[in-house]
Amino acid sequence: MGKYKIVAIIGTRPEAIKMAPIISLFKKDKNIQLITISTGQHKELLKPIFKLFKIKPDIELDIMKENQSLVDIQNNVLTKTYKELSEIRPDLLLVQGDTSTVLASSLAAFYLKIPIGHVEAGLRTNDIYDPFPEEMNRLLVSGLATLHFCPTKLSKDNLGKENIKKNTFITGNTVIDSLLILSKTIKNKPSGLTKNILLTCHRRENFGKSIEEIFDTILEIAKERKDVNFIYPVHPNPNVKNLAKEKLSNVENIKLIEPLDYLDFVKAMKDSYIILTDSGGVQEEAPALGKPVLILRENTERPEAVSCGVAKIVGHNKNKIKKEIYKLLDNKEYYKSVAKGVSPYGDGKASQKIKKIVINFLDSKKQK
């Protein structure tokens, strides 16, 4: 048995991707007994990630229900993680990001007086409804966490403004660790005359009128520009899937496909010319691969890529989306200035830094 008992909790696909290198590193240390809990918030989307990174959860909570509400998720995760944590009594709970799983499990740990290590801490848009509910989840978890692993100086500064200054560390983002490990195994595909535009669009705050406007814009561009292919791995949420089928089906240069496993998604990013997304993780991954990112949101908690000039916020405004896509397609010098492979989110060694901080913290705690 390890000297220290640590629980890593995962609920969604992005959490699994970003926790994978940490889990792998901690599992190799004989002084650590790492217990991985999967809540199953993204049940089907988690399986291929676990397989890819060779993660076998020690405990599966299986909270997923059809058409579950945010309240359902919070209640189920809180109740079930409280039960597991009260039996395991770990020295530390590791959580990642801003999901309902992260907030509910952190609350359970707080009730049991278990220290919490928050991976990807300090991201802010300063609008509690954008992204929803993630922005408020982050704020609340920051108030509960003991160790704050910030991906950038800006995220650490955000915590400082909220008077959270103790145990805040700049580590980089673990998604770059995962991305660089996998991208080394992928060969670049020769680009042809047709340019691929990879689309991901699934965020809750875009449901309704916003996503309709985005899809209408995609349809318009596809009809005007036969030199592009839109590749859209459609999220299984009915609010997205049904509308995508209604609006974008049967168009020759729009490919609606099933969600990709992470390795295939990394391949799709590498093969793309432009990436159009409302995803948080893609905003971190694409710049590291030298791909221009257009952000389908009014706000981003990851402004570093925008500041570096490798990403641009276009929201759901048709004119903005079209203007930026056409500029990237038609202006080679502009494209080169955006596709410059700058990663403001780390050097691929975030997991190593986090592990060192965790061990130092637990050692010092033990000596007291």
Q: What is the arithmetic mean of pLDDT over 360-367?
A: 90
pLDDT at 64: 74
Q: Are residues 35 and 111 in the same domain?
A: yes
- Average pLDDT of the segment spanning 129-157: 96
pLDDT tens profile 293-315: 999 999 898 999 999 999 999 99
Task: State the catalytic residue, choosing from 204, 212, 213, 271.
Answer: 204
Catalytic residue among 98, 177, 285, 304: 98
Binned at pLDDT 50, 70 and 90, residue 22 comes out as: very high
- Judge if 168 and 192 occupy the same domain: no
Q: What is the mean pLDDT of the chain?
A: 92
Judging by DSSP bridges, how do beta strands 59-60 and 32-38 pair with one another?
A: parallel
H or E element, residue 33: strand 32-38
20 and 169 both lie in a single domain: yes
Q: Which one from 202, 297, 302, 316 is the annotated catalytic residue?
A: 202
Q: Which residue, chain included where needed, has tokens 């009014």?
A: 298
Catalytic residue among 58, 60, 213, 235: 235
Residues 103 and 199 in one domain: no
The verdict on 355 and 332 lying in the same domain is no
Q: 178 in a domain, yes or no?
A: no
> Is 204 an annotated catalytic residue?
yes
CATH of the domain at 252: 3.40.50.2000
Q: Is 89 a catalytic residue?
A: no
Catalytic residue among 120, 177, 285, 301: 120
What's residue 192's pLDDT? Answer: 61
Token look-up 């061990």 returns 359
Residue-number span of the structural domain to which 164 is assigned: 4-173+347-367
Distance CA 93, CA 106 (A): 8
Q: Which is higher by pLDDT, 301 or 34?
A: 34
Instruction: Say whether 239 sits in a helix, a strand or coil.
Output: helix
Q: Is 117 exposed, middle or buried (0-12, 13-18, 19+ CB in 10 A)?
A: buried
213 a catalytic residue: no
Question: What's the CA gap between 62 and 82, in Å, rounded?
Answer: 15
Residues 168 and 194 occupy one common structural domain: no
Are 88 and 42 part of one and the same domain? yes
What pLDDT is attached to residue 93? 98
Q: Is 66 a catalytic residue?
A: no
Q: Domain check: are 229 and 332 in the same one?
A: yes
310 and 221 inside one domain: yes
Which of these is catalytic: 15, 84, 91, 134? 134
CA distance 76 to 273: 41
Question: Does residue 165 share a domain with residue 45?
Answer: yes
